[in-house]
Amino acid sequence: MAEENKNQEVQDSQNTEVQEVAGMDTASQPETVAQQQDPESFLKEFNWHNYEEGIDPIDDSKLEEFEKLVAENFVDTLDDEVTTGKVINITDRDAIIDINAKSEGVISLNEFRYNPDLKVGDEVEVLIDVREDATGQLILSHRKARVIMAWDRVNKAHDESLIVNGFVKCRTKGGMIVDVFGIEAFLPGSQIDVKPIRDYDAYVGKTMEFKVVKINHEFKNVVVSHKALIEADIEEQKKEIIGQLEKGQVLEGTVKNITSYGVFVDLGGVDGLVHITDLSWSRINHPNEIVELDQKLNVVILDFDEAKTRIQLGLKQLSKHPWEALDEDLKVGDRVKGKVVVIADYGAFIEVAEGVEGLIHVSEMSWSTHLRSAQDFVNVGDEVEAQILTLDREDRKMSLGIKQLTPDPWTDITSKYPVGSRHNGIVRNFTNFGVFVELEEGIDGLIYISDLSWTKKIKHPSEFTNVGDKLDVVVLELDVEGRKLSLGHKQTESNPWDKYESEFAVGTTHTAEISEIVDKGATIEFNEDITAFVPTRHLEKEDGNKLKQGESAEFQIIEFNKEFKRVVASHTAIHREEEQQIVKQAAKKAAQNDKTTIGDVNADLQALKDKMEGK
């Protein structure tokens, strides 16, 4: 009994100790240990050995409260989320990290190469890499945690358009490599600055602000831009500056860029365009004839668009318009000198003063009525003298003429080129109906195709002559008011058809060879000028056969037309004429001698038949 009482006292003593350790005084304090002291002190002072050995039993309610306290303060090592830990010790190879778990974790110092100043007490982001190795050690990873957090930050920066800092590591093809949160991002060359970049190496090693503009999650690619930040600032500056602009306002700017169509001028945060037509009152081929890069100049605001932030500038408007400065005494009929600045098909523009141009129409370049291209008379850059034909100061137009500086060749045309006179000219060009021949500068005449040759049938003038050839001509007609000359070339020679008219008169006989068998007949050539046509029925010979190509025979002219140069011949007419003569002779003989019988006539006809049959 005494022993049982002793054991009971020991048991009560142990229960009292557990209650004291647990911070419970059932008689005076109903509050829990967690309420009485902080969890860290409780966990540090708790007798784990007694608890694990079962020496100090605890009732279920207190155990549940203890497990809840552990769950709230210890990290769950089964969770793969990134957490923050504190460096509590650094060895030669590892860093010991407290993540408030049941045991400390270990991270190789290789993962902190980017941070050589790591020290005890620093907080770092970690990911549980291996929950427990063979020795029960908790293995953590700082590198993997950095990667996960870096992608979270990059995604957030992209989604919320946040500005991030990045370190430019090196150059690469087409741009730069930038370290953003430990991720290598690509910075295209076009996204470095709003101005063209000439020296990429100047940015290597710099820390700059960027905007994440594109993420490819499949290939883990990130594209950043520094230009986007500048443009955003510029747009704000543009709106502010444009809000203060007024048309006609004169500002100083710097030439930023020169293109073929104009010049971009920096007005101090906003760019304006001076179109090539607003650079100078004179014509220019390229803006670099007027300005150069980085040149400072004054410009006037012609127009602007606040919505599109576009500003139209002018340079020539700062000087007086040349037409307003033009000599007031200048009038129609005066002679002026100038330089050819533009040539068109219809004429040439001459700059008679800076910014003042006059047009010389091609018809005013020569007295010739046959118009040619202006390039036949002048070239760009030529210095020419001309006479003012019209002058309109209000509309700022001027027409000029060159031919007026020389006498009009048509003034004494009747004495120089009377009808019937013979001359020598140069073939200038063709038309389908004739040839234009120049007798002298300003005097052109037309030879109709029918007046080129007496004998040849010409379909196009190019068959007879060439441009540039010299031709003898005769003046056939002269129209002074219409300034027209009608010429002839064949008239320089006598008409051979006058001679042929008697030589090849109807009824005459000539020997020739069949040149060609054609439709409905054949052709024969009597000489180089006369080609006659023989109808098919007139090709029949005495024996009834027809003449063939290359066969020679006698032909009788049955038609001759000098006007249309038409000659028709017949071979058949020759032997039929002979037949008719025999019949006439027989009839005549019968009339002279009444004793002639029918048999005699038949005998003559039989003889003729035998002859025709070749007997």
Residue 303: the pLDDT is: 87
Residue 188 host element (H or E): strand 183-188
332 close to 407: Cβ distance less than 8 angstroms: no
Per-residue HEC secondary structure of 475-524 comes to EEEEECCCCEEEEECHHHCCCHHHHHHHHCCCCCEEEEEEEEEECCEEEE
396 close to 352: Cβ distance less than 8 angstroms: no
Which of 44-48, 188-192, 498-502 is the least confident region?
44-48
Residue 599: the pLDDT is: 57
Say if residue 487's pLDDT is above 90.
yes
CATH code for residues 243-318: 2.40.50.140
Residue 263: the pLDDT is: 92
Query: Which is the CATH superfamily of the domain at 83-147?
Result: Nucleic acid-binding proteins (2.40.50.140)
Residue with the bigger pLDDT between 84 and 42: it is: 84
pLDDT in tens, 298-336: 999 888 876 656 889 998 888 888 887 788 888 888 999
State the DSSP string of 250-304: EEEEEEEEE-SSEEEEE-SSSEEEEEGGGT-SS--S-GGGT--TT-EEEEEEEEE
Tell me which residue has tokens 């066969």.
551
Residue 416: CB atoms within 10 A of its CB come to: 15
556 close to 567: Cβ distance less than 8 angstroms: no
Say if residue 75's pLDDT is above 60.
no
Q: How far is CA 269 from CA 234, 256, 266, 605, 607, in A?
A: 6, 11, 7, 124, 124
0.85 exceeded by pTM? no
Question: Given this chain, do its domains 161-230 and 243-318 carry the same CATH topology?
Answer: yes
281 close to 325: Cβ distance less than 8 angstroms: no
Nearest to 335 by CA among 270, 391, 386, 269: 386
Domains of the chain by residue range: 2-73, 83-147, 161-230, 243-318, 335-405, 413-492, 495-615
Nearest to 565 by CA among 506, 487, 501, 491: 501
pLDDT in tens, 555-589: 988 898 877 888 999 988 887 776 666 666 666 66
pLDDT in tens, 140-178: 877 787 788 778 888 888 888 888 888 999 988 888 899
Tell me which residue has tokens 């370190």.
167
Q: How far is CA 143 from CA 107, 109, 122, 137, 239, in A?
A: 9, 10, 16, 19, 45
CATH topology of domain 335-405: OB fold (Dihydrolipoamide Acetyltransferase, E2P) (2.40.50)
Task: Give the whole-angstrom CA distance, residue 505 versus residue 556.
Answer: 9
3-state helix, strand, coil in the chain (%, to 5): 30, 35, 35
pLDDT in tens, 538-557: 888 888 888 888 888 889 88
DSSP 181: T
Roughly what angle, to the nearest 10 degrees, separates helices 572-592 and 598-612?
160
State the DSSP string of 367-379: S-SS---GGGT--
Say if residue 603's pLDDT is above 70.
no
State the architecture of 413-492 in CATH terms: Beta Barrel (2.40)
Task: Give the whole-angstrom CA distance, residue 128 versus residue 138.
Answer: 8
Q: Measured in whole angstroms, how far is the alpha carbon of residue 438 from the centre of its chain?
A: 44
CATH topology of domain 161-230: OB fold (Dihydrolipoamide Acetyltransferase, E2P) (2.40.50)
Q: Measured in whole angstroms, how far is the alpha carbon of residue 444 from the centre of its chain?
A: 44
**Three-state DSSP class for 448?**
strand
230 close to 263: Cβ distance less than 8 angstroms: no
Task: Pull the structure tokens for residue 259.
Answer: 């293109």
Residue type, 99: I
Whether CATH 3.40.50.300 fits 495-615: no
Q: How far is CA 92 from CA 89, 129, 499, in A?
A: 10, 21, 132
Say if residue 615's pLDDT is above 50.
no
pLDDT in tens, 98-128: 877 767 788 888 777 777 788 888 888 787 7
Residue 202: the pLDDT is: 86
pLDDT in tens, 229-286: 887 777 777 777 777 778 888 888 899 899 999 999 988 777 889 999 888 888 888 9
Task: Give the whole-angstrom CA distance, residue 581 versus residue 566.
Answer: 29
Residue 29: the pLDDT is: 39
